[in-house]
Structure 1
Amino acid sequence: MRVARACRDVDALGAQYTEGLGFEVLSSWRDHESFDGVILGHPHGPYHLEFIRDHQAPPAPAPHEEQLLVFYLHEEADWQRRCDTMLAAGFEVVHNTNPFWERNGRTFMDREGGRVVLNRGPWTR
């Protein structure tokens, strides 16, 4: 699976997610048919994140606060370590209006308003 999102600054956002979530840059391009992009993930992982900028479109708006990337971290120590790296990467902790996410994890906002939830515990479904 790949989740793609328009953004204003591919390089800055790619660096923030690489540092904060421990991803690697799997691919990137500049001015390919007027698009810049970066694909992040783990080389053998089942999902990727893609940030893309269209030079001919107006700047991308900030995502809605309910557009969330959610990651489940089973171990408390891993969760806390990842929360610390998110802060070090420049993510900001923000309130989540959904009580489930507020109670079970921590919500972070990236430099362009995108939100990431780090859930404390396994996905049980």
Structure 2
Amino acid sequence: MGAVRFARPTAKYDDVLVFYRDVLGLPVLAQWRGHHGYDGVVIGLPDTSVHMELLQHGDPPLIPERHPENQLVLYLRGPEAVAVAARRLAEHGHSPVPAANPYWPERGAVLFEDPDGWLVVLAPWVFGEQSPPAG
């Protein structure tokens, strides 16, 4: 397999783009407006091997109901990296939210909601490279 992309709809395209691109600092790999009625952006997670496509279509866009286990987990390189990202989110008006699953906070992860209300987990270890902190 060369790459993986997942896509999800958004009702707040501009706000979600700012959240992932400007606040979290993830790269935009592609972006379009009005392509057959779709606005979209492809965000690198963190590069071209894994990416997230965010789409807005329709008026109003139809968004699936959110669920506490629908999460984007960003594995960062240590607690300091989580603190930097969390501070940056706080500076832009985002507050941490409680986790439904205690696994994450027990291991030092911090959760935030993106502008659509979907959860972003900032985890302080890199999955597959390091063991998670003891919980």
TM-score by length of 1: 0.85
2:63 paired residue number = 60
* Equivalent in the alignment of 2:125: 121
CA distance in 1, matches of 2:22, 2:78: 20
Residues 90, 111 of structure 1: 8 Å contact kept: no
Residues 52-93 of structure 1: CA deviation (Å, up to 9, x unaligned): 011266432452121001111232221211111222344331
Q: Conserved in 2, the CA contact under 8 Å of 1:35 and 1:52?
A: yes
Query: Residue 15 of structure 1: CA displacement?
Result: 0.9
- Code of the residue aligned with 2:87 in structure 1: it is D
Distance 1:40 1:61, change over 3 A: same
Q: Which residue of 2 aligns with 1:46?
A: 49
Gapped regions of structure 2 (runs ≥ 5): none
Q: 2:112 aligns with which of 104, 108, 115?
A: 108
1:71 aligned onto 2:74: yes
**Contact 2:99 2:111 survives alignment (8 Å):** yes
Q: Which has the higher strand share?
A: 1
Work out whether residues 73 and 121 of structure 1, in 8 Å CA contact, stay in contact via their aligned partners in 2. Answer: yes
Return the alpha-carbon distance in structure 2 between the equivalents of residues 5 and 87 of structure 1. 25
Out of 11, 31, 34, which is 2:14 matched to? 11
Q: How many pairs does the alignment contain?
A: 125
Runs ≥4 residues deviating over 6 A: none
Identity level (%):
30
What TM-score do the two structures reach when normalised by structure 2?
0.80
The answer to whether the 8 Å contact 2:39/2:55 transfers is yes
Q: Any stretches of 5+ residues in structure 1 without a counterpart?
A: none
Matched residue SS, 1:59:
coil
How much does 1:27 deviate?
1.1
